[in-house]
Amino acid sequence: MAEPGFEWLYTAAEMRAAEEAYPGFPGTAPELMERAGASVAREARRAFPHARHFAVVCGGGANGGDGRIAAGLLREAGLEAVETDAVEGCDVVIDALFGTGFHGAPRPDAALLIERINACGHPVISVDLPSGVDASTGEVAGVAVRAALTVTFHGSKVGLHVAPGRFYAGEIVIADIGLGPAPTLARRATPALLRCVPLRAARDSKFTSGSVLVVGGSPGTTGAPVLTAQAALRSDAGYATLAVPRECLPAVEALALEPVKRGFDWGDAAESVLAEAERANAVAIGPGLGRSAEAHVLVARLLEALELPVVVDADALFELRPVTRSHPTVLTPHTGELSRLIGKDSAWVDAHRLEAVRAASELFRAVVVLKGADTIVQSPDGALVVCESGPPSLATAGTGDVLTGVIAAFLAKGLDPVTASAAAATAHGLAAVAVPDQAGLIASDVVAKLPSVLS
């Protein structure tokens, strides 16, 4: 079993290893195939109880074998199940074309068949993963089947949870085919992960339950650091300090009640902020800070001098350069920010999310949190966590500032940077789900729901 709060996600190589560890393999491979095909037939009948006619599109490999077994079992159940490329006129299509061994772009004839499946207008069940999706990365180099349901075997695959592959999978059902447990490098965060967050106890004070310093703000964007500080407090941190340029102090005083507010002058900004950091357990740098030369210098100075866990977000990521630190560093870019960090364009990052986040993590020797529908937490030691609790309503201004505050609070409570980041992304997403009205959700709605999610 994976450790509490996580589920294992398999790459193609890890699935091969799990199969090869099965007693008697490869001689016993037909047993595995029989179980896989049976699970597909069972889930097809469960998901589409009124379907009578199944078109089963089979490839030449093991995935096609799974499909042929499923077709036979459906016929034994009195249903019509034809192994064919002619998918029009059926009730349900079963896609057994490519399995976990597929990578790259489909050949032209296979691509035409995938396009035919997508155009037929019937629901599709994919066997193990939608044909055309890379099981290990989620990349789609050409075309891919758009499934309503994916029946995957033994454990879920990385490519079913990382974009763009996750958008092709539909509902995911994991079928047990009798393989033994095998740890994986990639994991999926579950709501149970929030149980690892230490909440305030009877012996705690406001400082021992986590003290967060937020450094940010500039004229016109003072709301960003305020959201970060409020999110930290709502994530059970006991103390939060807002350090902002002095000209922003009146606005911050009006916006934020609970955080302590401090104004700094650019001439001695680093010294002022470092003095405030003496009582902090973690620091968040960047929300609304601006991209001035003075802000750039401040970020560099702080990263060099702070001996605390640091979350680097928003404007602090602009023109960021790698720096050697002895304490945890977490970067929280969205696609555009990550593209600038690694010198790629945004479209490339969207198409190669795992490769992009790994490159950034290795370059900066930091935990990188690539935000999105599949928020990815990547550590330079190779550990990977996919967090997918967030709804589409999070795509609005300020929610990234909220996430930064949650991560900072969990770091201040002593969680390691991977666990803190994954738990924060999970809490952030669940808080958004808890907002009654998803249309028109704003960042402060998410802040308000954090306590109930953590409780």
Q: Name the phi and psi angles at 155, rounded to 5.
A: -155, 160
Token output for 235? 């994530």
Question: Average model confidence (pLDDT) for the chain?
Answer: 97
Q: What is the pLDDT of residues 24-68, one digit of tens each?
A: 999 999 999 999 999 999 999 999 999 999 999 999 999 999 999
User: In the CATH hierarchy, which top-level class contains the domain 6-184?
Assistant: alpha beta
Nearest CA among 313, 308, 315 for reference residue 405: 313
Is-contact 243 271, C-beta < 8 A? no
Q: What is the pLDDT of residues 155-165, one digit of tens each?
A: 999 999 999 99
Give the pLDDT mean for 106-133.
98
In this predicted structure, the answer to whether residue 399 has a pLDDT above a threshold of 90 is yes
3-class SS string, 332-368: CCCHHHHHHHHCCCHHHHHHCHHHHHHHHHHHHCCEE
Q: What is the pLDDT of residues 307-337, one digit of tens each?
A: 999 999 999 999 999 999 999 999 999 999 9
Residues 12 and 247: their CA atoms lie apart, in Å, by 55
DSSP 122: S
Single-letter code of the amino acid located at 364: F
Residues 204 and 7: their CA atoms lie apart, in Å, by 32
Percent above pLDDT 90 for the chain: 98
What does the DSSP assignment read for 170-198? -EEEEE--SPPP---SEEEE-GGGGGGS-
Task: Report the relative pairing of strands 329-331 and 310-312 from DSSP bridges.
Answer: parallel
Task: Report the relative pairing of strands 124-127 and 171-175 from DSSP bridges.
Answer: unpaired
Residues 99 and 287: their CA atoms lie apart, in Å, by 43
Q: What is the pLDDT of residues 344-396, one digit of tens each?
A: 999 999 999 999 999 999 999 999 999 998 999 999 999 999 999 999 999 99
Q: What is the pLDDT of residue 256?
A: 95
In this predicted structure, the answer to whether residue 197 has a pLDDT above a threshold of 80 is yes
Q: What is the pLDDT of residues 274-286, one digit of tens each?
A: 999 999 999 999 9
Residues 292 and 299: their CA atoms lie apart, in Å, by 11
Task: Report the relative pairing of strands 186-189 and 6-9 from DSSP bridges.
Answer: antiparallel
Q: What is the pLDDT of residue 155?
A: 97
Residues 275 and 260: their CA atoms lie apart, in Å, by 14
| pTM given for the model | 0.96
What residue ranges of the chain are covered by domains with CATH 3.40.50.10260?
6-184
What b/e sequence results for 349-375 when a residue is b if at least 16 CB atoms lie within 10 Å of its CB, and e otherwise? bebbbbebbbbbbbebebbbbbbbbbb
Residue 287: which region, alpha, beta or left (left: phi > 0; alpha: psi -120 to 50)? beta
Q: What is the pLDDT of residues 135-158, one digit of tens each?
A: 999 999 999 999 999 999 999 999
Give the pLDDT mean for 165-177.
98
What does the DSSP assignment read for 246-296? GGGHHHHHHH-SSSEEEEE-GGGHHHHHHHHHTT-SEEEE-TT----HHHH
Percent above pLDDT 70 for the chain: 100
- Largest distance between two CA atoms of the chain: 81
User: In the CATH hierarchy, which top-level class contains the domain 191-454?
Assistant: alpha beta
Residues 76 and 300: their CA atoms lie apart, in Å, by 69
201 contact partners, CB below 8 Å, separation of at least 6: 209
Q: What is the pLDDT of residue 1?
A: 65
Other C-beta atoms within 10 Å of 274: how many?
A: 17
What residue ranges of the chain are covered by domains with CATH 3.40.1190.20?
191-454
* Confidence band of 182 (pLDDT split at 50, 70, 90): confident
Q: What is the dihedral of CA 192, 194, 195, 201, to 10 degrees?
A: -170
